[in-house]
Every structure is written in C-alpha cells, then in structure tokens.
Amino acid sequence: MSVRAFASGWLARAALLLFWSLVTWGALLLLLTVVDVIAEGLKPALARLLPARGASVWAWLNALSVGLAVSIGLLVGGTLAWTRRRTEALRRLRNGGSRRIPRRPAGRSSSE
C-alpha cells in the first residue's frame, strides 16, 4: 500500500467521522430544543438555536449540525419508506396480486 493511498484513506475516514459527529451533535441539539419548546415556548428555544449577527463559529456549527441532522433524518426516513413500499409491491407481484390496471393488447380498440 502506498503512502498516498494510506493518507487518502485515513483522511476519508476522518472526514466521515467528523460528518457523523456533526449529525449526532445536531440530533442532540434538536432533541434539547424540542424539550425547551415544551418547557419555554417556541420563540425562546429557537432564539437560542439560531445564531445571531456576530455569532461565533461554534454557534454557526450548531445550526449547521441541526440542519444536517434534519436532512439526514429525512433522507433516511424517505429511503426506508420507499424501500418498504417497493418490497411490498414486489411481494404482491410475486404472490400474483397486482393493483395495476392490465394493459390492452396492441392493435385492439376499446369498441371491440
């Protein structure tokens, strides 16, 4: 294994770890924000979550991580729903029951 391949593999793993760390941190912040919404109300909870003008890099990273957590959650949820729907459709087709309207053979009209 060359040094270049080793270094690129190591950097890729480090970037993946950083990405998932941000997603996990965002999910934790989102959960705490939901708890704060229940306790204090929507406006104060969101005011702490969203960075103000002149905010530090950490405040912007918090907002970014929450956005990442929401987008990854939607992506995973959508993928799971799509996969489940597809497997159910394939299972129905294998069992012989289809909800699709059968197509007419070519060359025949509906008046025959």
Q: For the segment 88-112, what is each residue's pLDDT rounded down to a tens digit? A: 877 877 777 655 555 666 666 555 5
pLDDT at 37 exceeding the cut of 80: yes
Is residue 8 included in any domain, yes or no?
yes
Is residue 71 included in any domain, yes or no?
yes
Is residue 104 included in any domain, yes or no?
no
* Side chain identity, residue 16: L
DSSP conformation class of 109? -
Q: Is the C-alpha dihedral spanning 22, 28, 31, 33 positive or negative?
A: negative
**Local structure of 77: helix, strand or coil:** helix
pLDDT of residue 79: 92
84: domain range? 3-94
Is residue 22 included in any domain, yes or no?
yes
Confidence tier at 51 by pLDDT (50, 70, 90): confident
With 0-12 CB in 10 A as exposed, 13-18 as middle and 19+ as buried, what is 101?
A: exposed
Is residue 99 included in any domain, yes or no?
no
Q: Give how many domains the chain has, as a whole number.
A: 1
pLDDT at 25 exceeding the cut of 80: yes
Q: What is the pTM of this model?
A: 0.64
Which is higher by pLDDT, 110 or 18?
18
Mean residue pLDDT of the chain comes to: 83
pLDDT of residue 75: 93
Is residue 11 included in any domain, yes or no?
yes
Is residue 110 included in any domain, yes or no?
no
